Structure 1
């Protein structure tokens, strides 16, 4: 009987062990399935879209480290005009074809009404309440109101204001070939002053105290909209967000393009010669161009600005998100898919721009074969469709006025203290990491 006791005890223990084992197994299976769902769930909906193998958790970030900003051009050559790119777990469907860009941005806009919002921005109330990332009906209301700031008649009336700031910002340029001028700094100060005064009635001049005034156009819209809309769309935090975006879009991007144009023209004397000749032929230096003049009397200036935008594209990617299931390029994309257009790839594609590594403004000659044969949406520096940059005409007007004034009075050359090639800094907008340093010579 003594020998049977261990057996009986063991039998008493076995049922509890056999009950515990399924719990352990089911828990392990659930954890495994949860891990698989976490790692591969976002991928599953776009699995049929071609793309390179991914690294768990990292996605295709190692490819970015390998190829840098050229990674999307490299992948477009390998996988075609539509492919997958994973930022960690988050899959992006990259569109690198002008016709597919038109499909996403215009033809099927109702399926892509909003921008995808990366996690750092998703947690920022300021960004979410501005026009750039605002969604659906609220975006439509804000856009239609803010558009009044950019009507052609209003832009034309801003020319004297823009010119006065341009003259003030450039009057102290050193008329010597021995000192550097950091034009990325100068152009940023100029662009900030212009957008502050023109859009918000605020003078950001360093020598004057800042005066806090609300944008008159927005205030007027606030009074004419219903009380409910005014409380939500034009509440103080929304006005702050819109102001922030205007200053970002109207200063950083304009400053970058103006600096790009000066840098590129300074390195191409044959371009500078043609540009200066066109500007001089317009008339005396004290004659201020009108909006109509800027549009029709400076064709080569227009080509220079466009080629500068192409060469250093300030926004090489344009983010969108599907609001419903939609087919693009032969692939069914589920609701919530992040679809990013790649104007930076289009701008450097030899099919769109032969010899893309060369700075050649003539490629945008309206009478040239290259311009006539190019797809109309191969060049979309300000985006495409209803969500394109609403301030693009404002920016172009300021850049053209600045270049006319500068080349009426000065010529520029690269400083020997500037690194070559220029190192770029990638953020919300493109920037020159160490600035653009030029030598200035006063024209007689």
Structure 2
């Protein structure tokens, strides 16, 4: 799960009777063309471009002690402004690089140039630093427990990653779970058939409507990950009590993370009600997950993630780490993967010519009703894969995945010190007409090398899952799950939608701002 601190999150700092502040003047960016040194004493200096200090990076005006906070408070120019709109406005006003400074956190530097993003990721080193989910990490640490891959830092993260590699593996590793992913997709389709409307038509609900598709897709993403991790579904469609407890606890914890990112971090001083709520849901998720993992280890199912690491679980600590990894995968998959599939299916629904081309490709790879996706047939779905890439370009699931700089860098001519949190805004770069011609157009062919419409993408301009060793841990699974689920849907249904347009709200991820309904008409 790619994750970052949200600018809109800072609006909640206005709570508690803060007086209204008038709008402050903005810090305008310096000229784009930087002068070169003319120092006669050094030929090297004369040839090198001049750099500006970090204080010169454009951004909202700064007030002593409060820094940029007044802009987020009542009367401030960003008060109650949706986060996505705020980022777009800053990009327009300040250019491809700007900073936000708040009293309680590291300076945040936002980047919308691929060249700068490249420098940040190339400077990662062997142990990249993100510092996400601080409240969660603080609570787990206070209990003497691990924090998982997503929240761990330093050597602890390295240890988690080494164990996780047994499960996560390389780029092709998700394919070893394709049978289980297909089983989960088939369960999902049976569920969709059970919840879609009947043949009767009403003005409010056209025939065969699946209302709020993403809510059903969350159940699919949850059970799909459980099937891979544990070897078998755990009964969320049958409303099993323990499965429901894990699902609801995971949803609750995701909401807590979102709200914690929206609030001043008073939990650092005392356990706020929100912090205690996060702690309770954390206990529910990890305690329940631990029970599932223990049972799966007692009788490992061949081909499951637990079976892959069973011989390494030789202590309570290793058991805790395996549970943490499974918990991370659940947290990073439910909302992220369900949103990914929803965006893909919506793009296919509103572009029927693309849907039909993708369907014919699927039928060519799987011509018989009994054929199932395999590691051999998945590579044949090049157009469907291009559709997913294009859907995630237009509807980025995250704004960008941040890094805390471990060393000083020069970005867009500014000297950026170590310790600054950089947020590459892949979401904005993906809609930049200079990087992607006709950026608002859904054009899967731009990703197909054999197509006349193929466009070579600038390196680091398209990063929907982040980049490097700390990219979204569930990326390969989310992609494969989405391809398989979409392929199975296309084989059985012609898909239309009564929700042709929607906006997005930024929580931990960018989610549709309204329920999206699909009509699934049998072929």
| TM score, norm. by length of structure 1 | 0.78
Query: In structure 2, which of residues 228, 231, 235 is the aligned counterpart of residue 198 of structure 1?
Result: 228
What is the 5 A alignment of 1:164-183?
Answer: 164-172=183-191, 173=193, 174=196, 176=199, 177-181=206-210, 182-183=212-213
Residue 171 of structure 2 is aligned to residue 155 of structure 1: no
Higher helix share: 1
What is the 5 A alignment of 1:91-170?
Answer: 91-105=107-121, 107-110=122-125, 113-117=128-132, 120-121=135-136, 123-125=138-140, 129-151=147-169, 155-170=174-189
Partner of 2:280: none
Query: In structure 2, which of residues 91, 94, 109 is the aligned counterpart of residue 76 of structure 1?
Result: 91
Gaps (5+ residues) in structure 2? 1-52, 200-205, 244-290, 295-305
Query: In structure 1, which of residues 50, 59, 74 is the aligned counterpart of residue 58 of structure 2?
Result: 50
Partner of 1:438: 518
- Which whole-Å CA distance do the structure 1 matches of 2:119 and 2:127 have between them? 10
Deviation at 1:128, TM superposition (A): 7.5
Partner of 2:506: 426
Q: Which has the larger radius of gyration?
A: 1
What is the 5 A alignment of 1:153-302?
Answer: 155-172=174-191, 173=193, 174=196, 176=199, 177-181=206-210, 182-201=212-231, 203-206=233-236, 207=238, 210=243, 212-214=292-294, 215-223=306-314, 234=318, 236=320, 238-282=321-365, 283-295=367-379, 297-302=380-385
- Decide whether aligned partners of structure 1 residues 310 and 372 sit closer, same or farther in structure 2, where only a CA change above 3 A counts: closer
Comparing 189-198 and 179-188, the one that deviates more: 179-188
- Which whole-Å CA distance do the structure 1 matches of 2:507 and 2:82 have between them? 17
After superposition, the C-alpha distances for 1:63-108 in whole angstroms (9 at most, x for unaligned) are 3744640332332343333221235664311111112212211x21
Partner of 2:458: 375
- Which whole-Å CA distance do the structure 2 matches of 1:88 and 1:326 have between them? 23
Partner of 2:256: none
- Which whole-Å CA distance do the structure 1 matches of 2:131 and 2:412 have between them? 20
Gaps (5+ residues) in structure 1? 1-44, 224-229
- Decide whether aligned partners of structure 1 residues 47 and 218 sit closer, same or farther in structure 2, where only a CA change above 3 A counts: farther
| TM score, norm. by length of structure 2 | 0.67
Q: Give the length in aligned residue pairs.
A: 386
